[in-house]
Amino acid sequence: MARRDKNVAVLTLQFIEEVTSKCEEQQKEVLARILSQNADTEYLKRHGMNGCVRLETFKNKVLVVT
């Protein structure tokens, strides 16, 4: 039973490693989809995006407050 628990733990850690190893890439893909779907919104127009969906343009034009 202990060996099975260890195998499950190892597989769980491998899964977590796989899922979290590409976070930045996945976040960029999600943001690109959001920008694409909302390119013509008032909010993005107000920030000078004017239909542009480039991530670099978004970073330069829209102030993100944390």
Judge contact between 58 and 43, C-beta under 8 A.
no
Question: Considering the entire predicted model, what is its pTM?
Answer: 0.65
| 42 in a structural domain | yes
Question: Which positions ≥6 away from 13 have C-beta within 8 Å?
Answer: none
Query: Does pLDDT of 1 surpass 60?
Result: no
Give CA separation, 48 vs 3, 9, 57, in Å: 59, 49, 9
Taking only the tens place, the pLDDT of each residue in 4-46 is 888 999 999 999 998 889 889 989 999 999 999 999 999 999 9
Count of domains observed in the chain: 1
* Boundaries of domain holding 9: 2-61
| 66 in a structural domain | no
Query: Does pLDDT of 2 surpass 80?
Result: no
| 14 in a structural domain | yes
State the first-to-last Cα distance of the chain, in angstroms, to the nearest integer: 47
Give me the pLDDT at residue 4, please: 81
